[in-house]
Structure 1
Amino acid sequence: MKLGISSYSLYQAMHAGSMTIGDVIEWTAEIGASHIEIVPNLGFDFEANPELEDQIREKAAAAGLDISNYAIGGNFITETEEQYEAEIARIIREVDRVHRLGGKLMRHDVASRPDTSIARFNEDLARVAAACQRIADHAKQYGITTSVENHGYYVQASDRVQALVHAVDRPNFKTTLDVGNFVCVDENPVAAVKNNLPYASMIHIKDFYIRPSYRNPGEGWFTSTGGSYLRGAIAGHGDLDLYEILRLIKAFGYNGYMSIEYEGMEECRAATKIAFDNVKRIWNEV
C-alpha cells in the first residue's frame, strides 16, 4: 500500500500561517507516509512564488517522498470559444509544471454548472471530453496520466465519471477516485467505488458524517444534492464503511497511490495523523 497525504489536508494550518508547504512535506515524511499529493492555491501559490517548484521537488526528494499527484481546478463550460481555448491552454501549462515537479499523475477538474441535470451533462459531454483529450495528448509526451475526480456535483456520480473516461478514450486519462465524495450526490460509496476502481489512477481516502435531511445539525455542515447533511470526518470516525471500501480496493489488487484527504473541523495535524494511522490499521485487518 502506497499511503500518503494530500497537502489539502493541512490547508487549515497553512492558511493560519503555522505551516508552510515545506513544513507539510517534512511533517508528511515524519509520520511515515510514502508520498505527498500537491494541491496548489490552498495554502501556497506557484504563480506568486515561482521558486516553489524547485523547493517542493527538492524538499520531497530529500524527505524520501514521491510527488504522487498534482490536483487543480478547471472548467471547460465557458461562455465563449476564446475562454474555452484559454482554459485548455492554462491546464496544459499546469501539465508542464507537473513534469518539472517530477510527478506522473495530475487531476484537473472539467466542468461546473448550477444545472447539474443528466440532460445538461449529456449536452456538455462531447465538448468537455474534447478538452480532456487535448490535455491528455499533451501529457502523454511526459508519461503523465491526467484524471477527473468525482466531485463538484456535476461530474460526481460514478456513471458520469465513467461516461467521461470512455468519451475521452485515452489510456492516460483516468479518474482520481475519492471514496467519500459519492455521498455528495447520494450514491452508495461502496457500490460506487466498486464501479470505478478499474478506472482509478489515484485514490483519495476520505470520510464523512452523514445525517438525514430532517435533522439539521447546525453550523459546519453542508448538504448533498438530495438534502442530506454532511460534514468531513477523520477517516475511520465517520459513517462510511471504510472497512468494506478498503477491502474492495485491496481485493481488486490496486497498487497505486492512496492519499489521506482530511477536510473536517478538528485540528488538521492531529486529525490527519489519526486518519493515516486508522487507514494503515484497517488495511491490515481487511
Structure 2
Amino acid sequence: MKSIIFTTILVALFATNGFSQPANRGSIGEKSRVKIGLNFFSFDNPIKNNELDIFDVIKYAASIDMECVDITGYYFPTYPQVPSDEYIYDVKRCAFRNAIDISGTGVRNDFTKPDLAERQKEIQLVKDWIVVGAKLGASTIRVFSGPAIPKGYTWDEAAKWIAEATDECAEFGKQYGVMVAIQNHNDFLKTADEVNKFLSMCKSDNVGLMLDIGCFRTSDPYAEIEEVIHHAITWQIKESVFINGVETKTDVKKLMKLIQQKNYCGYLPIETLGKGNEKERVKTLFIELKKEVKAP
C-alpha cells in the first residue's frame, strides 16, 4: 500500500514539476459562446498618423455593436513604458461606458534572443504590461515567440528557452488574473505541429494560444486551425487565409462552423489588414461573422 502511495506521489510530481500541464489549454465549453470584437491593429495606420486614438476606436467598435476590444500595447502613447494609472483608467472607463469588454492587450517581444540578459529584458516588458492588462480588466496578453530560429541554434534549443520565458510570464500573470496568449505568427511558430509541440513544452496552465487564422501558410489552413483550436484562448480573425502561400478570402461559414463544433467559448477579435477604409473593412467582416453565429 505504501509503495502504491509513494509511486502515485512521484508520478504527480513528475507530471506537474511545479506547474500543471493540461492537454487542453483552451477555452472549450459544453457549448460554444462567443463575443466578436476588434483587434486594434485593424486601425494601425490611423492611430499611428494621429487620426484616431484609443478612445475613438473603442467608440467605433461600440457604434457597430461589437462586444470587445483587444488594445495592443503599442497604441498607448507611452509604449514601451507603461502609461499612467490615470490614462489606463480613462481607457477602462471609456470601454465601460460604451458596454465594451477589454479582452486583451499585447506587446512586441522577442523571446528568441540567445542571450539570457536580453531575454530577461523582454520578459520584464511582458510583465510590465501584464500589470497594465490587469488594471484594464483584460483577460489576456498577447506575446510573440520571436522572429526566427537564431543562427547557430536548433528549433528545439530555442523552443526550450522560449517556453521557459513564456512560463515565467504566465506564472507572473497568474497573480494578476491575466493569461499569456502566445501567437502563431508565421515566425518561429509556423505550423500546427510546431504550435502543439511548443505548448507541450510550456508547463504553466496560464498559457494558451492566440490563434491567428492568417498565419498558417499551408495547403489547408482550416485543418491547421482544427489541430490547435483546443489551445485557443483568443483569436485574430482575418479577412484572408493563405492556401499554399496564396492569399484567399476567408471562408467565414466554414470557420465559424468549426469554432462552434469545437465548442470554443470566448472572444473572437477581428484584425483586418492592408489598404482600404479601415472602418468599412472591419464592419464588413464583423457582419459576416455575426451572421454565422448560431445561438448556443
Shorter-chain TM-score: which interval? 0.7 to 0.9
TM-score if structure 2 supplies the norm length?
Answer: 0.81
Runs of 4 or more consecutive aligned structure 1 residues displaced over 6 Å after TM superposition: 114-117
1:216 match: none
Higher radius of gyration, 1 or 2: 2
Aligned 8 A contact 1:132 1:168 in 2: yes
Structure 2 counterpart SS, 1:2? strand
Aligned partner of 2:184 among 134, 139, 150: 150
Partner of 1:62: 97
State the 1:266 CA deviation: 1.3
The farther-off stretch of 160-169 and 22-31 is 160-169
Match of 1:3 in 2: 36
Amino acid at match of 1:95: I
2:255 match = 245
Counterpart among 231, 236, 243 of residue 199 in structure 1: 231
Deviations 1:65-121 (A, max 9, x none): 11101121211222422212222122111111111111121111122226699x832
Output aligned runs, 1:71-150, within 5 Å: 71-113=106-148, 120-150=154-184
2:63 and 2:151 mapped to 1: Cα distance? Answer: 42
Q: Please say if residues 179 and 245 of structure 1, whose CA atoms lie closer than 8 Å, have aligned partners that are also in contact.
A: no
Query: 2: CA distance between counterparts of 1:30 and 1:5?
Result: 12
Q: Report the AA paired with residue 113 of structure 1.
A: A
Asked if the contact 2:146/2:187 (under 8 Å) is kept, the reply is no
By relative contact order (CA 8 Å, sep 6+), the higher-ranking structure is 2
**What's the TM-score once normalised by structure 1's chain length?**
0.83
| SS of corresponding position for 2:74 | coil
Distance 2:154 2:187 in 1: 13
Provide the rounded CA distance (Å) in 1 between the counterparts of 2:219 and 2:233: 21
Identity, % of aligned positions: 21
Say how many residue pairs are matched. Answer: 260
Does residue 265 (structure 1) correspond to residue 275 (structure 2)? The answer is: yes
Q: CA deviation at 1:2?
A: 0.5
Structure 1 gaps, min length 5? 212-225, 231-237
Q: Give the 3-state SS of the residue equivalent to 2:176 in structure 1.
A: coil
CA distance in 1, matches of 2:94, 2:196: 36
> 2:221 maps to which residue?
189
What residue identity is the alignment partner of 1:205?
Answer: I
Return closer, same or farther for 1:193/1:52 CA change in 2, 3 Å cut-off: same
**Deviation for aligned residue 1:265:** 1.1
**In structure 2, what residue type is equivalent to 1:259?**
P
Query: Partners of 2:270 and 2:126 in 1: how far apart?
Result: 24
Query: Counterpart amino acid of 2:37?
Result: G
1:133 Cα offset (Å)? 0.9
Query: CA separation in 1, counterparts of 2:294 and 2:194?
Result: 32
TM-superposed CA distance for 1:277, in Å, is 0.7
Cα distance in structure 1, aligned partners of 2:44 and 2:196: 30
RMSD: 2.4
1:48, CA displacement in angstroms? 8.0
